[in-house]
Amino acid sequence: MEHAKALPAVDHLLTWSLKRTLPPVPRYLAATLLVALAAAIRVLLITNLLPWLIFMPVVLLIGLTMGKRTGFYAVVLSAVLAAVTIARPGASLWLTGPQWIASALFIIIAASQVIVAAELRASFVRARQLVAEREEANARLVEKEEQSQLLNHELGHRLKNLLTIVQAIVSQTVRQSPDLATAGEALAFRLAAFGRAADVLTASSWETADIHALAHAALAPHDSIETRFHLSGPVIYFQSQVALALALAFHELATNAIKYGALSNDSGRVDLKWSIEPGPNPAEPRFCLTWQELGGPAVQPPAHRGFGSLMIERSLRSYFRGQTLMSFEAEGLVFRIDAPLAGAQASDGA
């Protein structure tokens, strides 16, 4: 099947006319000048040919470049100027009978030319619109494909990170547990905490998570969260890996408090507070968090460091790129984070 191709000159002419559309008055003035030029050529150079022949291409050109109404105006003006060039002073009706007939035929044929030219112009405009829409659709398709590839890459990266965290949890839990039953129980609780943190991130398309939501998700399984936990601090959002590590840290701290600390009796409590503090450089604020247990039994440093305390200090120190400190004070365990806010990969959610 052959594909018709427009002549380059016609294509360029139509493109030029569409880009430089004239207002009505200049458009009709330009048409008048073109028809007048054709009439002058007719009088000066083409005296022996049909008087209407020279106007045909001019009318066609005006119809193509200026539209239907201007084309009809050019037809009437051409007929008048052609009649002026052939009028006989002695004729009773200015033109002879055959000349009137020829003028009428010229108007009909030239008007048909204008209609066809105007339709060609409209078709060219529609074709340009279709091409522009196709290019826009192709650009959107390419953009969506790029976004899809980016999302797939990001999903693979996040899945790899999640598997790495889960592998570390499983490995360290098994290594630190005296038997498989204990390991299974501890692992179930840790993976459940991990899953709750993942739910918080899923709500925000795995972009960020608010520390309030993370703390409540990690501490919600404990029925005493409303009475024995006191949470305070501004809205701060953390990126996914930091959020997961922080949620697991809350879980480990709460588990330790239930087994050995302030939550192991009926009167102890936990104060969890965080803030954004000015740093040495005013342009670099710091994130400060304190987990403080109060009212629990006497605290003594453990004989050996378990998975929980190691995970809390090492992972959070790595993710927050700041200082973490766990101290066993007389009133109860205290855990602190002091890190650059930017290093914590966080942004103020206010």
Token look-up 């239907």 returns 68
* 62-71, 276-285, 310-319: the lowest-pLDDT one: 310-319
**pLDDT of 290:** 95
CA–CA gap between residue 131 and residue 52 (Å, rounded): 38
Confidence of residue 292 (pLDDT cuts 50, 70, 90): very high
Homologous superfamily assigned to 177-348? Histidine kinase-like ATPase, C-terminal domain (3.30.565.10)
Q: Is the pLDDT of residue 33 over 60?
A: yes
**pLDDT of 103:** 82
Sign of the dihedral defined by the CA atoms of residues 37, 110, 107, 97, in that order: positive
Complete DSSP assignment for 15-47: HHHHHTPPPHHHHHHHHHHHHHHHHHHHHHH-T
CB distance 117 to 109 below 8 Å: no
**pLDDT of 288:** 93
Mean pLDDT of the 185-190 span: 66
Complete DSSP assignment for 63-129: HHHH-HHHHHHHHHHHHHHHHHHH--TT-TTSS-HHHHHHHHHHHHHHHHHHHHHHHHHHHHHHHHH
Q: Is the pLDDT of residue 73 over 80?
A: yes
CB distance 53 to 36 below 8 Å: no
Angle at 314 between CA 313 and CA 320, to 5 degrees: 85
pLDDT tens digits along 199-238: 655 555 556 778 888 888 878 776 566 778 899 999 888 8
Backbone angles phi, psi at 288, to 5 degrees: -125, 130
Alpha-carbon separation of residue 76 from 88, 97, 106, 173 (angstroms):
20, 19, 10, 96
> Helix 97-176 vs helix 180-202: angle between axes, to the nearest 10 degrees?
160
Structural domain boundaries in the chain: 8-141, 177-348
Task: Give the best-scoring range by mean pLDDT among 11-15, 55-59, 200-204, 228-232.
Answer: 228-232
